[in-house]
Amino acid sequence: MQCRFCKTKLEHVFIDLVNSPASNSFLTEEQLNEPETFYPLKVYTCDKCFLVQVDEYKKSDAIFDSNYVYFSSYSTSWLKHAKAYTD
């Protein structure tokens, strides 16, 4: 894996959270008795630019589908927070 910003090879794991289900992927009542898919969750730190990042195990279009429950562009508090850092 390489850094998304500076393309340096990522060699250091900042924290290994082992396995986790996809974020905001809540199970329906019908899915409760089915096995849930888990993905490795290792957080890396780039030695060159210090960007902290995770590897991609699931494509974004598979995560942010019509059932996804949180979209930051609808959160007025998040938009206000982000605007404070861009102005």
Task: Render pLDDT for 38-72 as a digit per residue (tens, 0 to 9).
Answer: 888 999 999 999 999 998 777 777 667 676 766 66
Buried b (16+ CB within 10 A) or exposed e, 11-37: eeeeeeeeeeeeeebeeeeeeeeeeee
- Phi, psi for residue 9 in degrees, rounded to 5: -65, 130
Locate the domains of the chain by residue range.
Answer: 12-86
Which residues, including other chains, have CB under 8 Å from residue 70's CB and lie 6 or more apart? Answer: 24
- Prediction pTM value: 0.61
pLDDT of residue 52: 96
Highest averaged pLDDT of the listed ranges 3-7, 14-18, 21-25, 61-65: 3-7
